[in-house]
Amino acid sequence: MADLKELQTDAKDLTLLYVEDNDALREKGGKLLSKFFSRVDLAKDGVEGLELFKKYPYSIVITDIKMPHMDGLTLVKQIHSISAESLIIIMSAFDDKKILLKSIKLGIFRFLTKPVNFTELSHVLAEAVTHIKLQEKNTLLQTHLKNIFEHQNSMLVLLHENKVVMANKAFLDFFDFHSLQEAQEKMLQIDKKFLEHKGFLYSHDEINALEVIKFHPQKLYNVKMRDKNNTITHFIVKYQELPQQADYGILSFTEISQLKLLKVFDERQNEIDTTLADTETLFDFLHIIQKNSAKIELHNYYNGLSITHDAFITGIKDGTLTVKTIYLQQKAIQIEQKTLIISNALPYAIEASQLEKINYEQQTVTLSDLKFVKTSPITRKTIRITPSGEYSVSLFLEDIKYDCELLIEDISLDAVKLNLKLLPAGLTETKEVRLEIVLELDKKPLNINTQATVLRKQENTDSFSVVFMFKDLQKSGLIKYITKRQMALIREIKGMQNE
Amino acid sequence: MNNKSKVLYDDGTHKCVMFSFDDETHEDSFLSVNQYLIIEYGAGFLIDPGSEAIFDELYDAISEYIEIENLKYIFFSHQDPDVAASIAQWAISTQAKFIMSSLWVRFMSHYGFADMNRVISLEDKGITLQFGEDALKFIPAHFLHAPGNFSLYDSKSKILFSGDIGAAILSSPDAYKKVQDFQEHKQHLLGFHQRYMGSNKICRAWVNKAEALDIKMIAPQHGFVFEDTNVGLFLAWLKELQCGSDLIDDLY
């Protein structure tokens, strides 16, 4: 009986038409069906049934076959020409296979042979109601999704296992596709439409662009494509998986050609650096990122240790940028009083060198003095740390020991940056020297004796910073040292979470 | 080549190597540990590199096959120390990206690792990664045993690197660690799988995924590899195994 209760609940907003020429049967059936459906109308033949249907599109029609004026099969045909979705159940004393086949061809929902018992009928009605509810749900979802799709300015495609299953008008228009079907046929590999451009995402021998986008949902990429008129258009593209439907995802293309940013990437390619000073372009990019609710990454250093976490832009106003990030990153920004902003959508990293405000409760940081910078921690290939505890450094140039104070600014497996009070004569770039460094590892001395070459020199206010690249260094001791030091630094900065 | 490494597959451009470095301080545990390296055109993909104690040996052993700077990815099937504790050392000594379940990313700082920029975190359903010309598939293996856990299928060699699934507890011989007689080997699998694997339902979900792949070899993180017919025998065994919550009364 639980099924009947369910039927009563589920069918209460559905309507039914019962067409039967046997008066007694029609009346009895009508009474019974009224217990379940919100509206039940009765008709004594096909003609009367069709008239009623034209006035009122019933959810379910039950009909006899053999009736005066218009038989049941003709009625089925007529109803389907008005509404292809109507569910029709045939109840007939005909036990003829030909008629059964014919009615199946007409697309009826079920065929019941008279006499029909109540259990059988209620079972079929329950199936019909479930079917209708499911269809309604799907249509609602699809309409909802379609509405969302059509109301976006961006070009949107819904992908299922890399195949296009839905596309909005903006997308179809861009390629001059007249239907979704045409888009599906011609868009077998959407990433092949992405054109080659320095700093942009496109598929080539080593990269499948679509896989890259899907691999990093919520990240933004620059792509360019040709439209129906062969015009090259610049987009920011993003992929978003549908919740609980990992095989489905939406690819959105935001057109930004009007910002004329292609030249920014071209200039980067040609190393013309007018972009670096272009604050307007910088904020254009940040607005695009914010509009797409895309992630950015913030980079800071704590005693050489790289501290990186995701962030979202929550506000852009009067040359300031507010981002939301985690406590550890906030703390690192507070210590450094600045941060570096990274995103695939940006032609360069952005340095925000003025800390305006930190709100620990809301997890936000407001920064100003933003500019593009050419250096990026992403290009830093090795982990550098500042040493702790006792250490000593000796520098030999042409076998002569440099006898001023030497400090280690940072050290990695590949190089050490030393701070020198005075620059000895002859310490030119690529010059080979010998270094003897003694660090402390597990309360024992760790000796690093190696040849090294000068990579870079930098003049500070009252000292010089010189980077020496190690040559033929036995690395295992230094790996241990840097690991331990890194662990200690992590503990230190994590400890700040409790402050 | 030393006797702690064994080439499992080599077609000239694509190679899979098995290493068997144990933390000698725990050798009495009989849980011999395997590490794997996939090489394609000289680029390396390292699987479950293990603890700090074996870092030096493994580093040197890998250097015999590829230049360390060509190690592109390091994959951790799950978060255990015998899988991932050396992450900080690898982060310092390579430029590789680290791939792991999104569940474990924030735990890596406990192993002294901080450079989150180098982490590729896997969502539960896994993904396919293009590696050179071939595809590496990350197959969900959650609760077998870690709640965030992945196996890795190499489409070229057709080896399924199964992490703890298929692990056997037995002392390791010097020779190639390959299952000879599955019926005999079962005894070494049983206790570990009964205790460590989540439930029969979960085993079945993983076996169903595995059966959809063309597998020539299953290579676990502990114990011996399964080749040819032993692959099917192992999968059939695992499919029927009662374990974890199926045996809840034994635990509570």
pLDDT (mean) for A463-472 = 93
Q: Cβ separation of B129 and A215 shorter than 8 Å?
A: yes
Other beta carbons within 10 angstroms of residue A98's beta carbon come to: 8
pLDDT tens for residues B168-185? 988 777 778 899 999 999
What is the crossing angle of helices B182-196 and B229-240, to 10°?
40
The answer to whether residue B70 neighbours chain A at the CB level (below 8 Å) is no
Q: Cβ separation of A490 and B128 shorter than 8 Å?
A: no
B152 vs B215: CA distance, rounded Å: 11
Residue A274: pLDDT band by 50, 70, 90 thresholds?
A: low
pTM, 2 dp? 0.62
Quote the mean pLDDT of chain B.
91
Residue A242 — φ and ψ, nearest 5°?
A: -80, 140
Interface mutation target, options B117, B118, B120, B134, chain A, most CBs of A under 10 Å: B117
Is the pLDDT higher at B197 or at A141?
Answer: B197
Please tell me the least confidently modeled range out of A111-115, B2-6, B87-91: B2-6
A384 within some domain: no
CB distance B7 to B16 below 8 Å: yes
pLDDT tens for residues B82-139? 999 999 889 888 889 999 999 999 899 888 887 777 889 898 988 888 888 788 999 9
pLDDT (mean) for A318-333 = 92
Does A103 share its domain with A188?
A: no
Q: Cβ separation of B115 and A207 shorter than 8 Å?
A: no
Is the pLDDT higher at A119 or at A315?
Answer: A315
Whether B6 shows a pLDDT value over 90: the answer reads yes
The residue in chain B having the minimum alpha-carbon distance to the alpha carbon of residue A384 is B92
Whether A319 shows a pLDDT value over 70: the answer reads yes
Does A413 share its domain with A465?
A: yes
Of B89, B117, B129, the CB nearest to A479: B89
Rounded to a whole number of angstroms, the distance from the CA of A469 to the nearest CA of chain B is 15
Q: Note down the domain range covering A369.
A: 274-378
B251 within some domain: no
Residue A49: pLDDT band by 50, 70, 90 thresholds?
A: very high
The answer to whether residue B93 neighbours chain A at the CB level (below 8 Å) is yes
- Is ipTM > 0.90 here? no
Does A132 share its domain with A12?
A: yes
Q: Cβ separation of B123 and A308 shorter than 8 Å?
A: no
A47 vs A68: CA distance, rounded Å: 9
Does A27 share its domain with A59?
A: yes
End-to-end CA distance of chain B: 49
Q: Looking at beta carbons, which residues of chain B come within 8 Å of A377?
A: 117
Other beta carbons within 10 angstroms of residue B87's beta carbon come to: 26
CATH of the domain at B62: 3.60.15.10
> How many distinct structural domains can be found in chain A?
4
For residue A498, what pLDDT is reported? 56
> How many distinct structural domains can be found in chain B?
1
Residue A241: pLDDT band by 50, 70, 90 thresholds?
A: confident
Residue ranges of chain A whose CB lies within 8 Å of a chain B CB: 206-208, 211, 214-215, 241, 246, 297, 299, 305-309, 342, 377-378, 381-383, 412-413, 475-476, 479-480, 482-484, 486-487, 489-490, 494
For residue A174, what pLDDT is reported? 92
CATH of the domain at A71: 3.40.50.2300
pLDDT tens for residues A120-178? 888 899 889 988 888 887 777 777 777 777 777 789 999 888 888 889 988 999 999 99
B249 vs B46: CA distance, rounded Å: 39
Whether B60 shows a pLDDT value over 80: the answer reads yes
For residue A284, what pLDDT is reported? 86
Whether A403 shows a pLDDT value over 70: the answer reads yes
B161-185 burial, b at 16+ Cβ within 10 Å, e below that, comes to: bbbbbbbbbbebeeeebbbeebeeb
B82 within some domain: yes
Is the pLDDT higher at B98 or at A273?
Answer: B98
For residue A85, what pLDDT is reported? 78
Q: Note down the domain range covering B103.
A: 5-246
Q: Cβ separation of B93 and A479 shorter than 8 Å?
A: yes
Max CA pair span of chain A: 120
Whether A193 shows a pLDDT value over 50: the answer reads yes
pLDDT tens for residues A55-92? 888 999 999 988 888 889 899 999 988 887 789 999 88
Domain boundary among A213, A235, A259: A259
Rounded to a whole number of angstroms, the distance from the CA of A239 to the nearest CA of chain B is 14
CATH of the domain at A311: 2.30.110.10
Could you tell me the sign of the dihedral formed by the alpha carbons of A353, A358, A363, A364, in that order? negative
For residue A2, what pLDDT is reported? 44
Q: What percent of chain A has pLDDT over 70?
A: 93
Does A51 share its domain with A122?
A: yes
A317 within some domain: yes
Of A306, A309, A487, the CB nearest to B88: A487
pLDDT (mean) for B50-60 = 90
Q: Cβ separation of B93 and A208 shorter than 8 Å?
A: no
CB distance A324 to A363 below 8 Å: yes
A264 within some domain: no
For residue A491, what pLDDT is reported? 79
A387 within some domain: no
Residue A379: pLDDT band by 50, 70, 90 thresholds?
A: low
Domain boundary among A81, A108, A138: A138
Q: Cβ separation of B123 and A246 shorter than 8 Å?
A: yes
A150 within some domain: no
The residue in chain A having the minimum alpha-carbon distance to the alpha carbon of residue B86 is A483
pLDDT (mean) for A470-478 = 87
